[in-house]
Amino acid sequence: MKKLYVVTGADGHLGSTLIRLLLERGERVRGLILPGQTPLFADRAEYVRGDVTNPQSLLPLFADREGAELILIHTAGIISIADKVTDDLVRVNVEGTKNLLALSLGSGVKKFVYVSSVHAIPEQPLRVLSETDSFSPDKVQGAYAKTKAMATEAVLEYVGKGLNAVIVQPSGILGPYDESGNHLVQLVTDYVENRLPACVRGGYDFVDVRDVAAGTLAAAEKGKTGECYILSNRHYEIREVLDIARSVAGGRRLPVLPVWMAKLALPLMEFIAKCKKKRPLYTKYSLYTLSSNDKFSHDKASRELGYRPRDLYETIRDTIAWLKRKKSPLPA
């Protein structure tokens, strides 16, 4: 049977990469973008302008299927490295997800894939974290993690109501094709453009956006109802990330600051970012993340979905190549 893939957050890093991959596979795609935004693949994909906080604006996503099975992949959301949960975060990340869940249940959606996050997994130090079926905002740190935990809870509640839904949980996404301002792509960009003054000790589990996209589509095809799948890679120190970038594009070695020193410098970094009208790369929460437990197992996704993440060297090489094509001037 024919399929219609609906991708929310279609202009985001993961959303646009998903659409790119689906189009390469010859699939029919319909993307959700906010009013006023320009579609990236207007000549090859359908687009609906709407807002997840406005259910009425979402109705065209489910119309005109022409007999096709509808598979909805929900990537839309506000990514935040702030500490406090704001009304906007709850309205978009939680209530917006609930709006889509309700419409999907009432519209006969064949499969609902929710892109959650490893940040939603209850934190436990000194152990490898694997999939769980229990989520609570009280068991995680940071505004983004709390809203992702709440939204993931809502997805599981709708599974209980009969919705065929699965959940994927990426780690820190990096890679080419970012038009949305991904923080990790900003890290690489700032280094390559010689705007990064120092490196902070610590690291995280970084994964290629293309591998997450492929894993998400595999979950749409093979994922079991109500199951979660971690789409991670492995731990990389920030120093390693920048060393790879230097080996690809050149650049200088940066001083490595311990986290406690970076925390002392936060007010200055935030002030400088404000003066430059840029968001700060380091915040209290992002520094917390760099020293938190990031031992995630993607064994389940590998076993059930055929998920295979690539080495980060390829990711950073391709990211820099994409930046060179997109921005000028960059080092040749």
Residue whose token pair is 């065209």:
60
Q: Please report whether residue 47 resides in a domain.
A: yes
Count of the separate structural domains present in the chain: 1
Instruction: Supply 27's token pair.
Output: 């699939």
Say yes or no to pLDDT of 286 above 80: no
Q: Please report whether residue 261 resides in a domain.
A: no
pLDDT averaged over the chain?
89
Q: Which domain holds residue 86?
A: 3-173+206-233+295-310
Q: In 3-state terms, what secondary structure has residue 241? A: helix
**Residue pair 202/291 in contact by the 8 Å Cβ criterion:** yes
Q: Please report whether residue 240 resides in a domain.
A: no
Q: Please report whether residue 182 resides in a domain.
A: no
- pLDDT tens track for 84-118: 889 999 999 999 999 999 999 999 999 999 999 99
CATH of the domain at 89: 3.40.50.720
Rounded Cα–Cα distance for residues 179 and 177 (Å): 6
Nearest to 29 by CA among 53, 8, 13: 8
Q: In 3-state terms, what secondary structure has residue 179? A: coil
Q: Please report whether residue 75 resides in a domain.
A: yes
Q: Please report whether residue 153 resides in a domain.
A: yes
Q: Please report whether residue 99 resides in a domain.
A: yes
- pLDDT tens track for 294-323: 899 999 999 999 999 999 999 999 999 998
Question: In this structure, is the dihedral angle defined by the CA atoms of residues 275, 279, 280 and 281, taken in order, positive or negative?
Answer: negative
CA-based Rg of the chain, rounded to a whole angstrom?
Answer: 19
Backbone angle region of 30, left / alpha / beta, with phi > 0 → left and psi within -120 to 50 → alpha: beta
Rounded Cα–Cα distance for residues 160 and 142 (Å): 28
- pLDDT tens track for 137-176: 999 988 999 999 999 999 999 999 999 999 999 999 999 9
Rounded Cα–Cα distance for residues 271 and 280 (Å): 9
Q: Please report whether residue 330 resides in a domain.
A: no
Please give the model's pTM, rounded to 2 decimal places: 0.91
Question: In this structure, is the dihedral angle defined by the CA atoms of residues 312, 22, 145 and 187, taken in order, positive or negative?
Answer: positive
Nearest to 174 by CA among 3, 14, 6, 11: 14
| Percent of the chain with pLDDT strictly greater than 90 | 67
- pLDDT tens track for 22-70: 999 999 999 999 998 989 999 999 999 999 999 999 999 999 998 899 9
